[in-house]
Every structure is written in C-alpha cells, then in structure tokens.
Amino acid sequence: LLCGQTHTVVTAREVPRRTQAERRRATRQALIDAALVRMEGGESFDNISLRSVAKAAGVVPTAFYRHFATMDELGLALVEESFRTLRAMLRQAREEGLPPHQMIRGSVETLVGFVGNNRPHFMFVARGRASDNTMLRRAIRAEIRVFTNELAMDLGRLPVLADLATDDLQMVAALLVNAMISTVDAILDTPPDDTHAIDEIRQLAEKQLRLVMLGVPRWRPVRPA
C-alpha cells in the first residue's frame, strides 16, 4: 500500500508471485485439461497414458503423483467436470420454459449446442460409458442414472406426464436419455462443420422424442398404483 518505493524486492512483488496453493491448483487443472484435449481427438480415456497426460500438461511424469494417486483418480475428476456440464445443459433446458409444442425442438437444440461447445466432455462420457475400466464405467453409468432421475423429476412437472407413477416417469426418462445418447454418439461421429448431417441428426432426434411423447397419454401401468 505504500507506493513509490524503489526496492527491487517491492517491484518484483508488484507482479504477484503465485502461492504454492495456486500453482498446485493450476497444475491439477492442466492435467485435467490435457486429458480432455486428448479426448477431443476421439481417443478413449483407457488408451491415454499417465506419461502422455503429464507431457501435455507440461510437467514431468512423476509430478502427476502429486495430484492423483492413479489414472483412475484423474478419471473421476473428469467424470465430475463432465457431468457439471451435463447438469448445466439440463438446467438451461428447464429454464427456457418453452410451451409443450416447442419444448422438444428447444431441448434438442440445447443438446446439439452443448455437444458442439463441449465436445471433449461429451466424448469422454460417450467413450467412457463402454470403457473396460470397471470403476470408470460404473462411475459414468451411476452419473447417467442420476441425470435420468433429474430428468424424470422435470418431466413430472409437465401436465401431460403429471399422473404417471414415479417408476413410469423413470422409464420414460430412460427412454429419452437413450435417444439423447445415440444422438450424441451420432454428432460426435460427424465433423462439426458438416451442418447438413448435423441437421439430419437433429431432425431424427426430434421425431424420436415426439413419438415417445405421443405414446405417453395412452400409457396405463400394468399394475395400477
């Protein structure tokens, strides 16, 4: 706060030094980001090595262990970050509050937009879903289940679905999530600039969601609650 001093020490301090905690956080994030960049190219988490992640993050392989005990732990960090994005997507779709006849179009639009803007996150989840790393696969599927439950709760607020039993809501949500997942797969397999192909994927998704919703008013549970 006392300005105008000439000590070089003070001048150096004007460019604030990073604290250890800041450096630590920055490196950790660099490792996470490095892994995500590798996802973007279409690789799966299984096939990226600790050494390659460290290299891309600009640290020596052994530095990795200061942040994660194993690659599995890094994987969990990626799961957390990716599903933060997916939850944001759900929130945006919810907050748009479109009327029913525009809701499907709007939701698909939101989905396509999020995939385009967060390719690495979606790539990680799409590939990791069928990973042969049991821990990672379980973690991702558990998060998808949570995501499906949140969607089921949102659906329950819609008039057309208001009188469905809880597990029927979950069943419908799961069906919609399946359609979304295959839509995401299709988008990720398409070059982002092929707007024509993306548009066809969008239309197919809209049709599928519409068809499912058409069945809902006629749905009667096998065992009435």
- Which residues are at the interface with DNA (CB under 7 A)? 17-21, 23-24, 26-27, 49-52, 59-67, 70-71
Helix (H) or strand (E) holding 151: helix 134-156
Q: Which residue has the tokens 């329950």?
A: 156
Q: Which does 26 bind (CB under 5 to 8 A by kind): DNA, a copy of itself, none?
A: DNA
Least separation, in Å, of the C-beta of 179 and a copy of itself? 6
Smallest gap from Cβ 210 to a copy of itself, in A, equals 8
* Residue 211 binding partner per list a copy of itself, DNA, none, with a CB distance cut-off of 5 to 8 Å that depends on partner kind: a copy of itself
Query: Are 78 and 45 spatial neighbours (Cβ–Cβ below 8 Å)?
Result: yes
Instruction: Report the residue number, 6 or 62, with the smaller CB distance to DNA.
Output: 62
Cβ 126 vs Cβ 183: under 8 Å: no
CA 82/CA 125 separation, integer angstroms: 7
Residues forming the site for a copy of itself (CB under 8 A) = 42-44, 46-47, 126-127, 129-132, 134, 137, 141, 168, 171-172, 174-175, 178-179, 181-182, 185, 189, 204, 207-208, 211-216, 218-219, 222
**CB atoms < 10 A from the CB of 64, how many?**
20
DSSP category for residue 186: H
Six token digits for residue 9: 């020490």
Closer to DNA by Cβ: residue 24 or 141: 24
